[in-house]
A and B are shown apart, each in its own frame.
Chain A
Amino acid sequence: MRYLPKSESERREMLEACGVDSAEALFAHLPPEVRLTRPLALEPGKSEYEIVEYFRARGAENAAGYASFLGAGVYFHYRPVLVDAITSRAEFLTSYTPYQAEISQGTLTSIFEFQTMLCQLTGMEVANASMYDGSTGVAEAAMMAARSTSKRRLVVARTLHPEYRAVLETYARRQGLEVAEFGYLAGSGGLDLEDLESKLNDQTAAVILQSPNFFGVVENLKTAAEMAHRSGALLIDVFTEAVSLGLLAPPVEADIVAGELQSFAIPPSFGGPFAGVIASKERFIRQLPGRLVGETKDSRGNRAFCLTLATREQHIRREKATSNICTNQALIALMATVFMTVYGKQGLRELAEQNLAKAHYLAGRLPRRFSGPFFNEFVATTGGRSSETINQALREGKIIGGLPLARFYPELDDCMLLCATEMSTRAAMDTVAEAFHCG
């Protein structure tokens, strides 16, 4: 068995040292009634070749080789080859959480850089070492706001990703937090500020909104922030398309920013693993969940990094911990860090500009539902044809169309959400436009 590095003679030596004549004897103290008395009903071990073939076959049953116009929280962006070259290095891939700073400076240094770059992108003052994903990041940010303000009400935009709202609901219910939703304007697709105002009261801990929102519409945070703060609530801004930060004004009016970094060279991978992030103003630093890396010196006076403010975390505070999170998504965050490094200050902007151009080209050829400004996603009406008919036609040409919105927004059952990125070709976009206008 290739993962067990012992020969029979070595095993025998070790068993002798332990004073037993078989490994089975080491389990003799287990009461007989707890023992499994048959082999596990699993196929025998396979060769490497068979394993690769199995997964290749499964991959072929998926949509390999299709162009796609899906967005809705998971985006197709080109992955620079440096990302896998670096994250495949054994010292990153097979290393442990950096609790022992002396032998983890590689991980700790890159996380410190990650935290810094997230602050630079979002305009916040502190950022943690990443969360499981954007959806749990939002839930944690909400709990952070409730703790900081000692209030129990959350006012949430309907244009926050539907699955993020579902996760928030699960966490909030458990914490005894009340969730009220406010709507969007039928014309622009942006925040209905009047509705927001009507939902605020002095028990509101936070207003939570997304920009660009689920419909792709770019929101202006200024008024929402003013309303929230006047009520004594915090503003939590959420992003699902990280590339938008290359071009859009950073959400400096927010108190907490939560988001998803999947766009930064993290494979879509049928929904995970991803990396969320929480960033905030400095005064919330002790309320931040998850890991934080801080700068310090070692005993010889050299700059060094270490995990810090661990007392917020589960292994010390136990039932008083700010969260039960025990991980960051270190390897995934590293992918994002390498991506941000490869593109850099100019590249991120150029990448974002290309996304803007592609999506606006496609949108120009389709009937748009909302008039608000958008980045790389927008909602189109399907008119006489149904979303299903259009998408089926596109599939014949190996194109996956947009997301029909009926499943999340019944009032928009004649609409679909489309995303175009730097990977979308003009030819494919023209085919999509034709599919909309035929018949």
Chain B
Amino acid sequence: MSAYPESYWYTKEHEWVHVEGEIGTVGITLHAQEQLGDIVYVELPKVGAHVQQGKTLGSVESVKAVSDVYAPVSGEVIEVNESLAEMPETLNQDPHGAAWLVRVRLSAPEELGQLLTASDYQSYLVEEP
């Protein structure tokens, strides 16, 4: 049973998106949070903001580093995970589940074709220096 859900799509910048109908739930991967270490703060866009594939939608901070989070898909932010403000450590505990970042109404579903499958992503992780 892989750590990386089969039904999710992945990016080379270590984000994932889980699509149900026209709504995509977005987060960062297990690998990303391992690299960052203990997460102390998460910066997220507001509901109603428009995000664009490949552009920054927010950032994730550990004590010593900040990492930009890039939108895997374009669309309108319809929900933001408020619990991360109080408990950023959830990102370390459950990055693929409870620590989702935002929910987006996809404006261009064809963009998914550019993303990686779970097995492609895991191969990519192995190749990466």
Contacts and interface: CB of A to CB of B under 8 A. Distances in A.
B41 A316 contact: no
Contacts of B61: 311
Interface residues of A, number: 6
B65 interface: yes
Interface residues of B, number: 8
Contacts of A310: 63-64
Contacts of B62: 311
A320 B65 CA distance: 12
Interface in B29-51: 40-41
Contacts of B41: 286, 311
A317 interface: yes
A311 B68 CA distance: 12
Interface in A295-324: 310-311, 316-317, 320
A187 B62 CA distance: 55
A125 B61 CA distance: 23
Interface centre among A310, A311, A316, A317 (most CB of B within 10 A): A311
Contact of B64 (A286, A316, A320): A316
A317 B66 CA distance: 7
A320 B67 CA distance: 11
A316 B66 CA distance: 7
Nearest to A306: B63
Nearest to B56: A320
A317 B65 CA distance: 8
A318 to B, nearest CB: 10
Interface of B: 40-41, 61-66
6 closest A-B pairs (Cβ-Cβ)?
Answer: A311-B61, A311-B66, A317-B66, A316-B66, A316-B65, A316-B64
16 contacts: A286-B41, A310-B63, A310-B64, A311-B40, A311-B41, A311-B61, A311-B62, A311-B63, A311-B64, A311-B65, A311-B66, A316-B64, A316-B65, A316-B66, A317-B66, A320-B66
